[in-house]
Amino acid sequence: MMKRCLIVAVVVLLAFGVALLSCSGGGKGKGKGKEETYCDTPEPEPSAYLQPGPVGDGKTWIITDGRAITPVGDMVRTNLFPVDAVFSRDGRYAYVLCAGKKDRSIDVVDLESMQVVGQLKKNVFYGMALSADGTKLYFSGANENKVFELQVNGSELTLLREFEVTGFPAGIALSPDESYLLVCANLGNRLVKIDLASGEQVAVLGTQVYPYAVAIDPSGSRAYVSNWGSDSVSVIDLNSFEVVSTIAVGKNPEGVVVSSDGGKVYVANSDSDTISVIDAESLSVERTISLHDDEVRTNGASPTLMELSPDGKRLYVACAGYNAVYVVSASDGKVLGRIPTAWYPTSVHISPDGKKLLIT
């Protein structure tokens, strides 16, 4: 906040420098036969002195870059830097990955009381999946080079198994029949397949650079992997476990979502501020959706993760840099609206009944 105030002050002084010089150039002054003339400079607005934190009634916050945010909805404070989450199958709880610099955990949030009611301390980064019956939770263990399997019972989390995955595991996906996991080894440039019956790695496949997120189509025949470092998506045939196509997308792709019929794949390009829409039949980008929908917005939307509405008509996109969730028409790519959020939203999730959004 102090840095921003200093920059603003410099701009104000420079802007009025010409006026000050012109005012002091004529007339008589003391001992020199010139007259001194003075001009008043405007006082800064009171908002220029606001410090980071809540202001007024607490609904508006000033963040460290000086911008004001007014998030909607109810908020609960979790451990530092919540990056991803998943609803319990009954919608009562949220399981939240918190990947702060030091103290990392999975927090359990009771969505009725809006309080953290459970916590498991583990190294986390990004990547989690919940079984269809809601009793098993899988998440990536970052620099521990492990993927963890938890038993879930409401707010209670119990560690069941650990699977070794070298190369800094990131995004994971559970197969439709729940027989295996796919894990992105982010620093190893690999996709790893783990058989859940045996707990063993049964296949390893090279991807492009820095695979981040993976999504499996509803039929279980294909997987799509976003590659951070090569600005691409790897398309995997899951029957042969081979790369069948590499599709160029925008810069630094992150979240990947497949439509319920498997026909479209949506990719959030975090450093291009776009969404690539891939046709699953031709395996080509059929449309690029820009999140710069008016002249006011500047570069830096930073779309991260997203979800499709249950009817497939709307795409909800967490735009970290804009402090908002964008609502996008899946049919034509038009931005329908923006939902104000807290600082730097990283993920968005739709409740099982389709009536609520969970935003980290």
299, 273 in Cβ contact below 8 A? yes
282 and 147 within one domain: yes
Per-residue confidence band for 121, with pLDDT thresholds at 50, 70 and 90: very high
CATH number at residue 287: 2.130.10.10
Q: What would the pLDDT profile of 218-227 be if each residue is shown by its tens digit?
A: 999 999 999 9
79 and 41 within one domain: no
Q: Rounded mean pLDDT of 50-78?
A: 82
Residue 9 within any structural domain of the chain: yes
Does 22 have pLDDT greater than 70? no
Q: What would the pLDDT profile of 239-297 be if each residue is shown by its tens digit?
A: 999 999 999 999 999 999 999 999 999 999 999 999 999 999 999 999 999 998 565 55
Residue 231's region, left for phi above 0, alpha for psi from -120 to 50, else beta, is: left
Residue 312 within any structural domain of the chain: no
288 and 202 within one domain: yes
Q: What would the pLDDT profile of 150-183 be if each residue is shown by its tens digit?
A: 999 999 999 999 999 999 999 999 999 999 999 9
276 and 157 within one domain: yes
10 and 51 within one domain: yes
Residue 353 within any structural domain of the chain: no
114 and 15 within one domain: no
pLDDT score recorded for residue 24: 43
Residue 309 within any structural domain of the chain: no
Residue 196 within any structural domain of the chain: yes
76 and 47 within one domain: no
Dihedral angle sign, alpha carbons of residues 216, 288, 301, 316: negative
Does 15 have pLDDT greater than 90? no
Residue 317 within any structural domain of the chain: no
pLDDT score recorded for residue 296: 55
- Domain residues for the domain of 169 are 72-303
Percent of the chain with pLDDT over 70: 88
Does 123 have pLDDT greater than 80? yes
Rounded Cα–Cα distance for residues 48 and 95 (Å): 38
228 and 134 within one domain: yes
Does 27 have pLDDT greater than 60? no
194 and 87 within one domain: yes
76 and 46 within one domain: no
Residue 251 within any structural domain of the chain: yes
Per-residue confidence band for 52, with pLDDT thresholds at 50, 70 and 90: confident
Q: Rounded mean pLDDT of 100-126?
A: 94
Residue 150 within any structural domain of the chain: yes
- Count: domains in the chain: 2
232 and 138 within one domain: yes
81 and 51 within one domain: no
Per-residue confidence band for 36, with pLDDT thresholds at 50, 70 and 90: low
